[in-house]
Amino acid sequence: MGSSGAGKTTLLDVLANRKNVGVIGGERLIAGRPPGPDFQRGTAYAEQLDVHEPTATVREAFRFSAYLRQPAHVSKAEKDAYVEEVISLLELEDFADAMIGFPGFGLDVEARKRVTIGVELASKPQLLLFLDEPTSGLDGQSAYNIVRFLRKLAAAGQAILATIHQPNALLFENFDRLLLLEGGGRTVYFGDIGKDSHVLRDYFAKHGAVCPAEANPAEYQLEAIGAGSTRRVGDRDWADIWLDSEEFAQVKETIKQLNAEGLAMPEDTGGLGTSCKSRPPSEALCCPG
C-alpha cells in the first residue's frame, strides 16, 4: 500500500519478473536461492484491467487457461476438474456458462474481476498469485466480496501478493501483512497488521502518530506519512524511522533465518518449493511449500 506514484505496481512487476526495462538492483530469493527458470510458470499475475474474449463463457475462459498453462502431462479430465474447483471457489456457478461480454453488456464489474482472478488460478500457480489493485473501480460491497474471495484462496493454501490503494477499515483487516511505501518507493513499514490493525497502530503510536479509535487505520497511516490529503504527522521522515527501528532489525533476522532454512532444503524443486504436481484437484489449490 502507498500513495499514487510510490511504486506499488513497479515493485509488483519486478517481483513477478515482468520488468524488462530499466535497472533493477537488490536480490529476489525463493527459499534462499534466485528464482529458477520455472518461476513464471509457477506464478500468476492478475492485472488491474479486466481484458477477456467477450464471446467466451466463464468456463471456456478458465479451461482455455488451464489447457495452455498447466503442465502437458496433466490429463484433460484433471484440468477440467480443477476448473470446476476454481468456479466453485470463486462462487461463479451461476455464471459458468454465461458469456463474459464487455463492460456494459455481459457480466458486471465484480464478476469480471472474479473471472480475471479465476483465469490466473486455472493455471494452477504453485508459488504466488500477484494481484494489481484487485478492488480498483469497485463499489464498497463488490470490493468486500473480492477480498472475501481472496481470503478463501489464502485459506485453501494460495499465497497472494496484492497492491491496494486506501482500502476501508473492513477490507484492511482482512490482509495479514502490510508493506507501506512512501513517495520514491521507500519502505515505511513492513510487518503484521493484526486484529483491528493493533500491531500497525502500536508501531505508529510508538513514534508519535496515534490513530484515533474511530479512524480508518489504512487512511490514517497514509496521511501520517504524507501520502494523504493532509500534512504528515510531525514532519518526520518515516522511512528513516523504519530503518532505525527494532521491527526492521527483526525483519532482517527473519529473512536470514528463512534463507538458511531454504538453503537446507533440496535444490531439485525448480525454485518453487515443494512440488504440487501430484496434488489432486479436490485439494483445490496448491500450498506454496
pLDDT in tens, 161-177: 999 887 888 888 889 99
Q: Is 241 helix (H, G, I), strand (E, B) or coil?
A: helix
Question: Given pLDDT bands bounded at 50, 70 and 90, which one contains residue 181?
Answer: very high
- What is the C-alpha separation between 1 and 174, in angstroms, rounded? 14
Question: Given pLDDT bands bounded at 50, 70 and 90, which one contains residue 279?
Answer: very low
What are 167's three cell numbers?
482500502
What are 138's three cell numbers?
469497485
> Residue 271 pLDDT more than 60?
no
- What is the C-alpha separation between 215 and 197, in angstroms, rounded? 11
- What is the C-alpha separation between 235 and 185, in angstroms, rounded? 18
* Cα-to-chain-centroid distance, residue 32: 21
Residue-wise pLDDT tens digits, 50-82: 889 999 999 999 999 999 999 999 999 999 999
- Find out whether 174 and 182 touch, Cβ atoms under 8 Å: no
Q: Residues 6 or more apart from 60 whose CB is under 8 A from it?
A: none
Residue type, 278: S
Task: Please list the alpha-helical segments (H only) found in 137-275.
Answer: 140-155, 169-172, 198-206, 217-224, 238-243, 246-263
Our CA angle for 65, 70, 75, nearest 5°, is 105
From 193, 213, 195, 212, select the one nearest 203 (Cα to Cα). 193
* pLDDT value, residue 270: 44
Residues 123-151 have a mean pLDDT of 88
The pTM is what?
Answer: 0.82
Residue-wise pLDDT tens digits, 112-129: 999 999 999 999 888 889
* pLDDT value, residue 79: 95
- What is the C-alpha separation between 86 and 62, in angstroms, rounded? 8
